[in-house]
């Protein structure tokens, strides 16, 4: 057994990098659904079906606990999966809640009523599907009042990253940030609500300027998972084998992953 990490493609590697650094003794099995990326332009039923198939594949590999290192899957599919599909002995967790807990100054499992928080104007950058799900606003409303969220669907960014065209990805980031700043000129915080975006975080920071606090998921998710595994060590299981699986072309995916994580990564076919 091991812990599963799922994404539509390469973006979840940003989360994988942070969790392996924080928990070097825990074996992780990564699955990228590169054959179907990007998810951000698909409808909710499609994302639900693809995410369930990916999670099932990781269960087959002995991962009773799967992290959806994909905001689009977390936003469009996770609630439905948890309510109707995940069996008793398995867990599927998303990447939204740790981020929102950090933004609203809450510790894990603090279910007290929503309250005023320091931040009042939040810029959300995410895929079109995540933005239209409004899952971020819903989770935020459970925890905070009086926070104005302006969301920018960042069409094209995931595609450019998956193609390895980082110049295009950076240019798109600049134009998406400019579009958002025209509607909300002075956000105090910006949320990178897609796990691909840490790969172009420098472009977001540059376009947003120094005054904006940038919330990026990998370290927040790693801290939250470490906490969870202290409470539920049984969810790790006994196995020691980490692996990288893809529904896409393993040679191409390995090349891009090696470039992104700056260490040799070898994917095999899922
Ligand atoms: N990394 C995924 C996310 O966090 C990208 C989704 C996509 O494939 O468009 O939303």
Mean pLDDT of 114-135: 96
Contacts of 111 (CB under 8 A, 6+ apart): none
Q: Do domains 3-95+218-269 and 97-215 have the same CATH topology?
A: yes
d(CA 75, CA 64): 21
Domain ranges of the chain: 3-95+218-269, 97-215
Does the CB atom of residue 131 touch ligand 1 within 6 A? no
The answer to whether residues 206 and 134 touch, using CB atoms and an 8 Å cutoff, is no
**Per-residue pLDDT, 238:** 57
**For residue 162, how far is its CA from the centre of ligand 1 (angstroms)?**
10
Does the CB atom of residue 158 touch ligand 1 within 6 A? yes
Contacts of 130 (CB under 8 A, 6+ apart): 40, 71, 72, 75, 76, 136, 153, 193, 194
Hey, whose CA ends up nearest to atom 2 of ligand 1?
Answer: 70
CATH architecture of 3-95+218-269: 3-Layer(aba) Sandwich (3.40)
Is 70 known to be catalytic?
yes
Does the CB atom of residue 217 touch ligand 1 within 6 A? no
Ligand 1 atom with the smallest distance to the CA of 130 is 10
**For residue 9, how far is its CA from the centre of ligand 1 (angstroms)?**
7
Q: Is the pTM of this model over 0.85?
A: yes
Most confident listed range (1-15, 51-65, 170-184): 170-184
Confidence of residue 241 (pLDDT cuts 50, 70, 90): confident
In terms of residues, how long is the chain?
Answer: 270
The answer to whether residues 178 and 204 touch, using CB atoms and an 8 Å cutoff, is no
Please indicate whether residue 86 or residue 261 has the higher confidence score (pLDDT): 86
**Among 73, 182, 183, 184, CA closest to 126:** 73
Cross-strand bridge partners of residue 254:
none
Flag whether pLDDT at 1 surpasses 80: no
**For residue 112, how far is its CA from the centre of ligand 1 (angstroms)?**
30
Q: Tokens standing for 145?
A: 């009042």
Ligand 1 atom with the smallest distance to the CA of 69 is 4
Is 194 known to be catalytic?
yes
**For residue 94, how far is its CA from the centre of ligand 1 (angstroms)?**
12
Q: Tokens standing for 54?
A: 């990916």
d(CA 114, CA 111): 8
Rg of the chain taking only CA atoms, in angstroms: 18
* 141-154 pLDDT, tens digit each: 999 999 999 999 99
**For residue 37, how far is its CA from the centre of ligand 1 (angstroms)?**
8
Taking the domain 97-215, which CATH number applies?
3.40.50.1860
Mean pLDDT of 187-215: 97
Does the CB atom of residue 193 touch ligand 1 within 6 A? no
d(CA 253, CA 258): 9
Flag whether pLDDT at 177 surpasses 70: yes
* 160-176 pLDDT, tens digit each: 999 999 999 999 999 99
Does the CB atom of residue 208 touch ligand 1 within 6 A? no
Whether the upstream peptide bond of residue 38 has omega within 30° of 0, thus cis, is yes
Identify the sign of the CA torsion 21, 27, 243, 88.
negative
The CB-side HSE value for 246 (13 A sphere, CA atoms) comes to 23
């Amino acid at each position: 057994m091991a812990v599963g990490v799922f994404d539509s493609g390469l973006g979840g590697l940003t989360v994988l990098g942070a969790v392996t650094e924080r928990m070097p003794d825990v074996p992780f099995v990564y699955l990228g659904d590169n054959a179907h990326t990007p998810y951000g332009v698909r409808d909710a039923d499609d994302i639900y079906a693809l995410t369930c198939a990916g999670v099932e594949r990781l269960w087959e590999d002995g991962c009773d606990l799967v992290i959806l290192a994909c905001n689009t899957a977390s936003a469009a599919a996770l609630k439905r999966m948890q309510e109707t599909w995940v069996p008793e002995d398995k867990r599927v967790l998303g990447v939204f809640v740790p981020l929102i807990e950090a933004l609203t100054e809450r510790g894990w499992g603090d279910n007290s009523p929503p309250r005023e928080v320091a931040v009042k104007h939040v810029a959300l950058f995410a895929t079109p599907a995540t933005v239209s799900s409004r899952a971020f606003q819903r989770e935020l409303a459970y925890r905070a009042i009086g926070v104005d969220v302006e969301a920018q669907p960042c069409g094209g960014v995931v595609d450019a990253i998956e193609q390895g065209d980082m110049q295009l990805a950076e240019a798109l980031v600049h134009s998406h940030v400019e579009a958002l700043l025209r509607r909300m000129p002075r956000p105090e915080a910006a949320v990178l609500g897609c796990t691909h975006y840490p790969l172009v975080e420098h472009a977001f920071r540059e376009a947003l300027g120094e005054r904006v606090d940038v919330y990026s998921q990998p370290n927040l998710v790693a801290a939250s998972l470490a906490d969870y595994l202290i409470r539920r060590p049984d969810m790790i299981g006994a196995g020691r084998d980490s692996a990288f699986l893809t529904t896409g072309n393993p040679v191409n995916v390995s090349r891009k992953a090696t470039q992104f994580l700056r260490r040799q990564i070898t994917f095999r076919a899922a």
